[in-house]
């Protein structure tokens, strides 16, 4: 259920259609059923209209229309939010997914890009110039959502989070004003959007730093998962130079052709590796991982950076998940993962472990609204399933695994969260982050127009 019920319609969608350059899709349109979908299943909502905006002026018009009409507003770029925040019952969907314009300044090493492009499209286009910005592990995720949440990905240790490469953003605020947020102009807003998601405005364009990266040593290493292999992998990842970022998925082997048949259904560690630097050095850095056990499959090789995004897109399903930051994973925790995996009846379940540190960890905790810089490890537990009636069982499974792994309640990463209660969202913004975000929310969105998100309630006037 949406947190707010739809309110009285006071705006004319026909008028809106005449006022925007983009497409306004209403229930009677043949593409309505497709247009109202988001990536995850379980959000069968019926908006009054989906507006596929074509620029900042369109965004400003839709924001103003929703505000003036008292309508619930859902903002989406890639629609991958697990909370289903990209759709609404009876409100307006502001869909940025048609806004993909990209201008690369190769000499300057920067790009201006509209936020509706996805991670794969962006990386492929910049990669043609041997330039990239680090994003997450899925090409279909929207640039808008991942950058505003943080962006923990293939270059996290080398270059930091995606938002650490954000130099400026064009933002439409709740009053419909188009502003540029950067360290120089609107620095408070710039702070808030880096980790505070869409709470203070709709980002229409980003200026992102590009890094000269063409060839990497990367790809997937699949090892039999034992407690020693899991802890050994994380130790090796922590000891490796910043040039290497890894993502370890511990799961039960799916019946994929590149995994030997005798391993199907057995616990495996699928480690995605990305080493930025000379091939020989990369091979040496990856050698300790290969030595942990005889790999079931070793697909790590010199490749172009954008190749990391090749392969089949994830299929949309119902999803349960939880995540948390930690500093270490003890052998008993690794054993617990292996005990819990076979207990889940989900078609796909995994414990994903990402060793942090490096450039990500060198940014002060209070420099942005992502205040987990000092943590060493990130764990994301997920179960994908096809029968919505099983939700409770899968929610319980992911929570049980997190508890068994020693989750300490210190908060998680909003990017991977579903719809959460205020306590969980507050815990994701530790230290003074929550209070500062609440103050800025009061300044930029006092009436909480942008509330379909991991919501920051505006601070009360004192
Ligand atoms: C398969 C998969 C893999 C993932 N892998 C990673 C990963 O490796 N690393 C990582 O950090 N995260 C990862 N994520 C999490 C992902 O970054 C977040 O779910 C992100 O919010 C999705 O962005 P989106 O634009 O696709 O989603 P949307 O549903 O469109 O948006 C997500 C949230 O951001 C808001 N929003 C979106 N665009 C804008 C905008 N332009 N202006 C203002 N607000 C906006 C929305 O209102 C919503 O609250 C993954 C998610 C999935 C489903």
Which residue, among 203, 200, 201, 199, has the nearest Cα to 162 in the 3D structure?
203
Q: Whose CA is nearest to atom 34 of ligand 1?
A: 145
Whole-structure pTM value = 0.96
Q: Which of 142, 178, 354 to mutate to test the pocket of ligand 1 (most atoms within 8 A of CB)?
A: 142
> How confident is the model at residue 462, as a pLDDT?
74
Q: Is the CB of 94 under 6 A from ligand 1?
A: no
Complete DSSP assignment for 356-395: --HHHHTS-TTSSS---TT--EEEEEEEEES-GGGHHHHH
CB 270 within 8 A of CB 220: yes
Q: Is it the case that residue 134 has pLDDT exceeding 80?
A: yes
Inform me whether the pLDDT recorded for 280 exceeds 80: yes
Report residue 388: phi and psi, to 5°.
Answer: -60, -20
**Two structure tokens written together for 186:** 């609107």
* CA geometry: angle 166, 167, 170, nearest 5 deg: 90
What's the average model confidence in pLDDT over 297-313? 93
- Cβ of residue 420 lying under 6 Å from some atom of ligand 1: no
What is the pLDDT, as a whole number, of residue 10? 61
Q: For strands 73-76 and 92-95, give the pairing.
A: parallel
Residue 224's pLDDT band (boundaries 50, 70, 90)?
A: very high
Q: Tokens 């940025």 belong to which residue?
A: 96
Nearest to 153 by CA among 322, 270, 274: 274
Per residue in 355-381, pLDDT (tens digit) is: 999 999 999 999 999 999 999 999 999
Which atom of ligand 1 lies nearest, measured to the CA of 247? 8
Place of tokens 């969260």: 417
Measured in angstroms, how far is the CA atom of residue 76 from the centroid of ligand 1? 8
What is the C-alpha separation between 59 and 356, in angstroms, rounded?
36
pLDDT band at 12 (very low <50, low <70, confident <90, very high): confident
The pLDDT tens digits for 404-457 are 998 988 799 999 999 999 999 999 999 999 999 999 999 999 999 999 999 999
Of all protein residues, whose CA lies closest to atom 39 belonging to ligand 1?
144
- Mean pLDDT lowest among 1-5, 7-11, 134-138, 247-251: 1-5
Residues 6+ apart with CB under 8 A from 245: 153, 154, 155, 156, 157, 158, 273, 274, 354, 358
Mutate which of 4, 141, 318, 455 for ligand 1 pocket (most atoms within 8 A of beta carbon): 141
Q: How far is the CA of 206 from the centre of ligand 1 (A)?
A: 15
77 lines ligand 1 (CB under 6 A): yes
Nearest CA to 276 out of 218, 340, 355 is that of: 218
- Count CB-CB contacts under 10 A for residue 26: 14
Roughly what angle, to the nearest 10 degrees, separates helices 391-404 and 331-340? Answer: 160
Report percent pLDDT > 70 for the chain. 98
State the distance from the centre of ligand 1 to the C-alpha of 331, rounded, in angstroms.
32
State how beta strands 131-132 and 211-212 pair: antiparallel
**Nearest of 349, 361, 343 to residue 322 by alpha carbon:** 349
Q: How far is CA 40 from CA 86, 320, 455, in A?
A: 10, 10, 20
Task: Name the one residue in this structure whose structure tokens are 């209660």.
Answer: 421
Asked if the model's pLDDT at residue 6 lies above 50, the reply is no
In the reported structure, the alpha carbon of residue 161 is separated from the centroid of ligand 1 by a whole-number distance in angstroms of 14
135-183 confidence digits (pLDDT tens): 999 999 999 999 999 999 999 999 999 999 999 999 999 999 999 999 9
pLDDT of residue 195: 98
Q: What is the reported pLDDT for 14?
A: 87
* Mean pLDDT over the full length of the chain: 95
CA distances in angstroms from 340 to 262, 285, 387, listed in the order given: 21, 31, 20
* Cβ-Cβ contacts under 8 Å for 217 (sequence gap 6 or more): 273, 275, 277, 279, 282, 283, 285, 286, 300, 301, 302, 303
Is the pLDDT at 27 greater than 70? The verdict is: yes
Ligand 1 center from residue 246 Cα (angstroms) = 20
What mean pLDDT do residues 48-53 have?
98
**CA-closest residue to ligand 1 atom 7:** 136
Cα distances from 434 to residues 210, 438, 456, in angstroms, run 30, 6, 8
């Amino acid at each position: 259920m949406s947190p707010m019920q739809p309110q009285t319609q006071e705006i004319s969608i026909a008028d809106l259609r005449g006022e925007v350059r983009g497409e306004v899709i209403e229930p009677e349109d043949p593409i309505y059923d497709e247009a109202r979908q988001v990536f995850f299943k379980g959000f069968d909502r019926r908006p009054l209209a989906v507006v596929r905006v074509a620029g900042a002026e369109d965004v400003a018009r839709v924001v103003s229309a929703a505000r003036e009409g008292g309508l619930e507003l859902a903002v989406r770029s890639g629609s991958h939010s697990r909370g289903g925040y990209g759709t609404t019952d009876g409100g307006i969907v502001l869909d940025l997914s048609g806004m993909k314009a990209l201008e690369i300044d190769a000499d300057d090493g920067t790009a201006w890009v509209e936020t509706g492009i996805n991670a794969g499209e962006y990386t492929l286009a910049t990669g043609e110039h041997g330039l990239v910005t680090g994003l997450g592990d899925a090409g279909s995720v929207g640039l808008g959502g991942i950058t505003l949440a943080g962006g923990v990905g293939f270059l996290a240790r080398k270059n930091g989070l995606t938002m650490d490469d954000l130099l400026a953003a064009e933002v439409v605020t709740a009053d419909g004003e188009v502003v540029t947020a950067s360290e120089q102009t609107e620095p408070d807003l710039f702070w808030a959007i880096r980790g505070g998601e869409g709470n203070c405005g709709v980002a229409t364009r980003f200026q992102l730093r590009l890094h000269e990266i063409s060839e990497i040593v990367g790809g997937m290493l699949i090892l039999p998962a034992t407690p020693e292999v899991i802890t050994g992998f994380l130790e090796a990842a922590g000891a490796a130079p910043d040039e290497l970022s890894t993502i370890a998925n511990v799961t039960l082997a799916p019946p994929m052709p590149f995994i030997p048949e005798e391993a199907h259904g057995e616990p495996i560690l699928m480690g995605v590796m990305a080493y930025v630097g000379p091939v020989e050095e990369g091979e040496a850095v990856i050698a300790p991982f290969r030595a942990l056990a005889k790999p079931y499959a070793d697909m790590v090789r010199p490749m172009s950076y954008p190749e990391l995004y090749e392969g089949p897109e994830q299929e949309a399903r119902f999803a349960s998940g939880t995540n948390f930051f930690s500093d270490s994973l003890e052998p008993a925790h690794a054993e617990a993962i292996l005990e819990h995996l076979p207990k889940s009846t989900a078609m796909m379940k995994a414990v994903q472990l990402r060793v942090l540190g490096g450039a990500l960890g060198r940014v002060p905790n209070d420099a942005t609204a992502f205040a987990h810089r000092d943590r060493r490890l990130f764990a994301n537990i997920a179960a994908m399933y096809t029968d919505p009636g099983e939700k409770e069982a899968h929610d319980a499974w992911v929570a049980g695994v997190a508890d068994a792994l020693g989750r300490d309640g210190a908060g998680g990463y909003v990017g991977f969260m579903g719809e959460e209660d205020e306590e969980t969202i507050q815990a994701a913004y530790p230290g003074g982050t929550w209070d500062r975000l609440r103050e800025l929310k009061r300044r930029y969105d006092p009436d909480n127009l942008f509330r379909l998100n991991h919501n920051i309630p505006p601070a009360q006037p004192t």
